[in-house]
């Protein structure tokens, strides 16, 4: 009998398909539908540190009174209490609606004291925590070491406050991606997800205006996490989940062959709905049966960097065979 079981978030999952954090996973009806259609786990919509900061600043701009400083200190905590209490209710409701693990997502841009919220997430019943960490490297005064310290300090702070597993979702914006993943691996994480997705600017040339590009991924984007799953999976102790551009069973199988233990998907479900989960799982099962694989472990990592017939395809960044190697005629 074919088994799709795998491990991520420090948990045994019935299959590798994880519903990624998005607005879809703030809707209890959709959470139930994802669970009913066979998802392996569900990551709830992130609670954003920036949401708390922005609300604080809006009030600060409009508030003028003699005891302003004392008021804002109080209001700062009130904002956090309200946002975090609401998120705790989402966790509890999601646990009631879902038959599979429910993971809280904390999106942070600093390792500040608000991360004490991690223990509240645990108390609300989350099965694990995903730290969605990203700093856009646009500030010329901020050194790479500052960014590295932020990642490590945040992971350590949260891990010290909770007993439930902690994973981290990172971006590809590193000149030393392999090195930072190795350091994070040393923090005994329950997993690293590559990569988080964020809004990008675009330009409307008719209105000559900067706009927000589509936030949904396209299928070609799966090649970036594919490369890094293949490179890093043999080198890390913690499991890897691949994310971004993964839309179907074929993409998921590729990631597993590269060495990922799971995949996170969201964009395709905006287009095809929660029922598409069952179709993807069926596709994985059919492929495994066709190949004679009884478990994910039978083939996971078979085409990673250390096992591929041509590992240079993972490491080489230039298109030597197509565009290079000109030697004249």
For the stretch 265-321, pLDDT in tens is 999 999 999 999 999 999 999 999 999 999 999 999 999 999 988 888 888 765 544
The reported pLDDT for the residue numbered 214 is: 82
Q: Is the model's pLDDT at 93 over the cut of 70?
A: yes
Cβ-Cβ contacts under 8 Å for 149 (sequence gap 6 or more): none
Q: Is the model's pLDDT at 239 over the cut of 60?
A: yes
Residue 329: inside a domain = no
Judge whether 101 and 41 are in contact, CB under 8 Å: yes
Task: Report helix, strand or coil for 260.
Answer: coil
Gap between the Cα atoms of 306 and 304, Å rounded: 6
Residue 210: inside a domain = yes
Q: Is the model's pLDDT at 190 over the cut of 70?
A: yes
Q: Which residue has the higher pLDDT, 47 or 205?
A: 205
Gap between the Cα atoms of 10 and 100, Å rounded: 14
Q: Is the model's pLDDT at 113 over the cut of 70?
A: no
Q: Is the model's pLDDT at 69 over the cut of 50?
A: no
The reported pLDDT for the residue numbered 147 is: 86
Cβ-Cβ contacts under 8 Å for 94 (sequence gap 6 or more): 25, 28, 31, 42, 44, 102
Residue 328: inside a domain = no
Judge whether 157 and 117 are in contact, CB under 8 Å: no
Q: Residues 57-66: what's their mean pLDDT?
A: 47
Judge whether 241 and 192 are in contact, CB under 8 Å: yes
The structural domain count of the chain equals: 1
Cis check for the bond before 134: say yes or no (omega within 30 of 0): no
Q: Residues 157-165: what's their mean pLDDT?
A: 93
Q: Is the model's pLDDT at 175 over the cut of 60?
A: yes
215 pLDDT band, cuts 50/70/90, is confident
Q: Which residue has the higher pLDDT, 77 or 211?
A: 211
Q: Return the sign of the alpha-carbon dihedral for residues 249, 251, 252, 257.
A: positive
103 pLDDT band, cuts 50/70/90, is very high
Q: Is the model's pLDDT at 80 over the cut of 90?
A: no
Whole-structure pTM value: 0.87
Tell me the residue range of the domain where 132 lies: 6-323
326 pLDDT band, cuts 50/70/90, is very low
The reported pLDDT for the residue numbered 299 is: 98
112 pLDDT band, cuts 50/70/90, is low
The CATH number assigned to the domain holding 288 equals 3.20.20.70
Q: Which residue has the higher pLDDT, 329 or 124?
A: 124
């Amino acid at each position: 009998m074919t088994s799709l079981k795998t491990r991520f978030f420090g948990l045994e999952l019935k299959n590798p398909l994880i519903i990624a954090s998005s607005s879809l996973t703030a809707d209890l009806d959709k959470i139930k539908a994802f669970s009913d259609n066979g998802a392996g786990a569900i990551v709830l919509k992130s609670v954003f540190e920036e949401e708390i900061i922005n609300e604080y600043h809006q009030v600060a701009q409009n508030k003028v009174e003699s005891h302003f400083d004392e008021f804002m200190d109080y209001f700062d905590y009130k904002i956090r209490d309200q946002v975090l209490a609401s998120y705790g209710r989402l966790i509890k409701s999601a646990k009631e609606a879902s038959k599979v693990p429910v993971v809280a997502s904390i999106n942070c841009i600093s390792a500040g004291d608000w991360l004490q919220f991690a223990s509240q997430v645990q108390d609300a019943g989350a099965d694990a925590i995903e730290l969605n960490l990203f700093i856009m490297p646009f500030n010329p005064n901020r050194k790479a070491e500052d960014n590295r310290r932020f990642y490590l300090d945040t992971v350590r702070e949260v891990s010290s406050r909770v007993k439930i597993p902690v994973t981290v979702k990172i971006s590809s914006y590193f000149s030393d991606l392999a090195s930072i993943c190795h350091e994070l691996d040393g923090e005994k994480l329950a997993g690293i997800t590559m990569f988080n997705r964020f809004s990008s600017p675009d330009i409307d040339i008719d209105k000559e205006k900067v706009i927000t590009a589509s936030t949904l991924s396209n299928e070609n984007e799966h090649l970036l996490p594919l490369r890094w799953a293949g490179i890093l999976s043999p080198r890390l102790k913690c499991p890897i989940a691949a994310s971004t551009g993964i839309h179907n069973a074929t993409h998921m199988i590729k990631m597993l062959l590269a060495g990922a233990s799971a995949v996170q998907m969201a964009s395709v479900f905006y287009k095809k709905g929660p029922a598409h989960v069952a179709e993807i799982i069926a596709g994985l099962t059919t492929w495994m049966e066709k190949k004679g694989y009884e478990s994910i472990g039978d083939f996971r990592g078979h085409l990673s960097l250390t096992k591929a017939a041509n590992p240079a395809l993972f490491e080489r960044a230039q298109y030597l065979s197509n565009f290079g190697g000109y030697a004249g005629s």
